[in-house]
Amino acid sequence: MSPPCPCGRAAPLADCCGHYLAGAPAPDAESLMRSRYTAYVLEDEV
Ligand SMILES: [Zn+2]
């Protein structure tokens, strides 16, 4: 079980912003902004 993505979507990180954090192109501006927020949150937790 993976925790939900920090960006606010119900999908697990690996199925949501994880793709974009790993280098995949975000399909739209919203996904890009969410992935940046997720990166910020993850960095904050380390
Ligand atoms: Zn996400």
Whether 1 is in a domain gets the answer no
| Domain count for the chain | 1
Q: How many CB atoms lie within 10 A of CB 26?
A: 16
The answer, yes or no, to whether residue 45 has pLDDT greater than 80, is no
The pTM of the full predicted model, rounded to 2 decimals, is 0.83
* pLDDT at 3 (0 to 100): 83
* pLDDT at 46 (0 to 100): 67
Whether 5 is in a domain gets the answer no
Whether 36 is in a domain gets the answer yes
Q: Give the range of the structural domain holding residue 29, as residue numbers without chain letter.
A: 13-45
Q: How many angstroms separate the alpha carbon of residue 26 from the centre of ligand 1?
A: 11
* pLDDT at 43 (0 to 100): 92
Residues with CB under 5 A from ligand 1 (ion): 5, 7, 9, 16-17, 34
Cβ neighbours of residue 42 closer than 8 Å, sequence gap 6 or more: 6, 21
Tens of pLDDT, residue by residue over 3-44, are 899 999 999 999 999 999 999 999 999 999 999 999 999 998
